Amino acid sequence: MLGWLELVVVLALWTAALALPCALWLRRQRSLRALDEHRFDQMQAQISRLQKDLHAQAQAGAQPFQVNQAPTTARRRADAPAPAEPSGGGSPYNQAIELARHGLSAGEVAERCGISRSEAELIVSLYRNSPTA
């Protein structure tokens, strides 16, 4: 039979054994939350940059994207500008828009313009079928 002191020691050890994983789990959750917040801030900054570029394009008189326009596959790489010649003001986003208009894939746009794949996918989805300005 256990005495009071042994019972207190066993309970303390058992509590510590349960508390340690809980403390580690909480620490991990805080770390993940901080990482998510950082990624969210980065995405917000990217969205702001893209919105500014789109606004600048609109101010420059570029044709707006038409959602209900049917996709065409006739335009392809033959008339795409060379990667060393940035068009549309030199911004990698402006160059990406031009490459997307010429039918390049998101991977090719990202590689040629030095932007992330997700940015390139967004630009391609917005501008692939828009008329060239």
φ, ψ of residue 84 in degrees (nearest 5): -80, -10
Give the CA dihedral 95, 98, 104, 108, nearest 10 degrees: 0
- Residue 82 and residue 46 in one domain: no
- Residue 75 and residue 133 in one domain: yes
Average pLDDT taken over every residue of the chain: 80
- Among 61-65, 93-97, 116-120, the least confident range: 61-65
Quickly state the pLDDT bin for 66 (edges 50, 70, 90).
low
- Residue 50 and residue 86 in one domain: no
Is residue 47 pLDDT above 50, yes or no? yes
| pTM greater than 0.95 (yes/no) | no
Q: Give the C-alpha separation, 95 to 89, whole Å.
A: 8
- Residue 47 and residue 90 in one domain: no
